[in-house]
Amino acid sequence: MVDPSIVILLIFGVLLLLGVPIGTSLGIASIFAIWYYDYGLAVVGPNLYSSIAKFPLLAIPFFVTAGVTMQESGIAEKIIKLAKLLIGNIYGGLAIVGVVVATFWGAVSGSGPATTAALGVILIPALIASGYSKGFSAGVISTASGLAIIIPPSIAFIIYGVITSVSIGALFIGGILPGLVVSFLLIITTYVVSKRREWRGGSEERTIQEIMVAFKEAILGLIAPIIILGGIYGGVFTPTEAAVVAVVYSWFIGAVVYKTITFKKFLKILRDSVETSAVVMFVVAFATLFSWTEQTAGLIDKAVQAIIGFSSSPIVIMLLINIMLLIAGMFLDAISIYYVFLPIFMPIMAHFNWDPLWFGVIMTINLAIGQVTPPVAVNAYVAANIAKTSLEDIAREALPLIIAAIIGLLIAIFFPQLSLWLPERAGLY
């Protein structure tokens, strides 16, 4: 009889090549293997239910709703206006605004594609109109939007914390400094590329009064992350409760303060939030079933032994794992990668005595890069639709930015305290 692990991977791979959605591919491969090898079809229902019936996962639909609400309330335009006034007429000024605002928006949205959509519809047309190429305009926004899963709150960290039982609050604060390092490297790269191509910011004069007015308009949006993260680290509420607070606060801004949330927009927000959350939970459910199936088929044990047997050096194994993740990020979404690969990586973490929080931050930075690397580049797909350009054009123009993000990944790998210092200082880890 053919090795079950080979059958599972073969079916999954063929379905992906045929263009079947990732969640569906995971589900079909798992259920077929369970049926064919008589693992017990009765486990499917309870497995799917238990995979999503977890209190921390409730944070996902709430953070999604908060992000969509903030987008529809018009706060993105106000923050972009403030950033443009502050950055001014430097090389790559408008593109740098995109990186800066994406860094902030990551502290609201928690989702790379959602951040790309929220900022891209405003900034990408503006960048193109200012003379930036379509590929670079879409590339800088889609790459910077990957920061949304590194800067807290992060849907990716919630998934990682649920799988590994690492404190989600500690993961959130652990992602701040590495996220800022990656953001800084993207800003420097954007400036260098823009200077070489003579792309400058706006030439209009700005006054202190204009900046103060813009700051006043944006202040309620700017303090949203402070309320959310301050409440978590101050022990006022859990990450899941913080997600609920984020929804209430974003509704307050949109409906009461700015009065931009109409009943029609309310229905749109609910629809978009439900659609996004349903896709996430669908993938979580079938990815969990796939993880159970690969464990039962013995695939995990074989993979662990193969990786550990490759080298006795923890640095070599760490670099190997990150190469695997970079490649996986080209074909799979972040949630699927967590569920497919973490069962393999967790024994390796224990073998080399790696800190799981540090590893979680590294893995998440890696998967943020995957959101802009073809062929499955979710951020780039969103940006390509907005910019009316090809994925190949974005990939080519975004290459310097991807390299900058990889440098940030290497810094996080070789300097663990970058991820651990804040959680330790806050007493969360």
Going by C-alpha positions, the residue among 428, 411, 360 that lies closest to residue 149 is 360
What is the DSSP annotation of 190-236? HHHHHHHHT-B-------HHHHHHHHHHHHHHHTHHHHHHHHHHTTS
Are 207 and 86 in contact by the 8 Å Cβ rule? The answer is: no
In a domain, 152, yes or no: yes
Q: How far apart are CA 78 and CA 84, in angstroms?
A: 10
pLDDT 10s per residue in the chain (429 long)?
567 778 888 898 899 888 888 889 999 999 999 998 888 889 899 988 888 888 888 888 888 888 888 878 888 788 888 888 888 778 888 899 889 888 887 766 667 787 888 788 888 988 898 888 999 999 999 999 988 889 888 888 999 999 999 999 899 999 999 999 999 999 999 999 999 998 876 555 678 888 898 888 888 888 888 888 788 777 788 888 888 888 898 888 888 888 888 888 999 999 988 988 888 889 889 989 998 998 888 878 888 888 988 988 999 999 999 999 998 888 888 888 898 899 999 999 999 999 999 999 999 999 999 888 887 778 888 888 888 888 889 989 999 999 999 999 999 999 999 999 999 887 777
Q: How far apart are CA 115 and CA 104, in angstroms?
A: 10
Going by C-alpha positions, the residue among 186, 156, 187 that lies closest to residue 174 is 156
Domain that holds residue 397: 56-272+298-425
Torsion, CA 332, CA 336, CA 340, CA 344, rounded to 10:
90
In a domain, 345, yes or no: yes
- List Cα–Cα distances, 236 to 54, 60, 224, 233, 330, in angstroms: 21, 19, 15, 8, 39
Q: How far apart are CA 149 and CA 172, in angstroms?
A: 10
Both tokens of 319, joined, read: 């670099």
Torsion, CA 310, CA 325, CA 55, CA 166, rounded to 10:
50
In a domain, 50, yes or no: no
In a domain, 164, yes or no: yes
In a domain, 95, yes or no: yes
In a domain, 18, yes or no: no
Query: Number of folded domains in the chain?
Result: 1
Would you call the peptide bond into 61 cis, given omega within 30 degrees of 0 as the criterion? no
In a domain, 39, yes or no: no
In a domain, 10, yes or no: no
